[in-house]
Amino acid sequence: MSSRKHLLLVLPLFFPMLAIADCIPFTQAREHIGETRCITGKVLRVKRGNRGVTFFDFCADYRVCPFTVVVFPGRLRDVGDVRQLQDKLIEVHGPIKAYDGRAEIVLDHVRQLSGQAAMLPPLPKNYDVERKGRYNSGTLGHPKAKQTPSKKRQTAKLPVEIPEDEQ
């Protein structure tokens, strides 16, 4: 066996990302649900959703877009400052799942990104995920929930003397 053929057989063992086929455009992601693939596309918008979940929009109208990337708030520290990816062409690797009528990849770690996107700066140290991207001036702990006054149940008051019926 020539050394060139031997190298082609050994490279995928040491560099698994090279073993993955070329990236496919995000418009074809639905055809590959259930597979682990590389998806490429230009991120038009990085949007913060409910409860701090971050979405990458690849279409002008996200409601009709066939693909999205999701980053859950607990994983932002492992991924980095994803706001930097807006208006950039990215390659994201991972299992393609079906959710809400579209294909998606859940981004858990910066290693899932390749190319320029893989060089994300870390989140600022005072970035507060719980407060949806607002900066916190160094307080520790979770934000306190608003307390609503509890209504105390009152016992029914009965009259002390019950008059007898007069007939």
93: helix, coil or strand?
strand
Give the pLDDT score at 34. 96
- Residue 11 located in a structural domain: no
Give the pLDDT score at 112. 94
- Residue 1 located in a structural domain: no
Structure tokens at 54: 């971050």
- Residue 14 located in a structural domain: no
Give the pLDDT score at 158. 61
- Residue 137 located in a structural domain: no
Spatial contact of 120 and 111, defined as CB atoms under 8 Å apart: no
Per-residue pLDDT of the chain (167 residues; tens, 9 = 90+): 454 444 444 444 444 444 445 899 999 999 999 999 999 999 999 999 888 899 999 999 988 999 999 999 999 888 989 999 999 999 999 999 999 889 999 999 999 998 777 788 877 766 655 554 454 444 445 555 566 666 666 666 665 666 676 65
- Residue 80 located in a structural domain: yes
Q: What's the total number of domains in the chain?
A: 1
CATH number at residue 65: 2.40.50.140
Tell me the CA distances in angstroms from 65 to 8, 23, 72, one per residue in order: 37, 18, 20
- Residue 72 located in a structural domain: yes
- Residue 27 located in a structural domain: yes
Instruction: Show the domain range for 45.
Output: 21-131
- Residue 104 located in a structural domain: yes
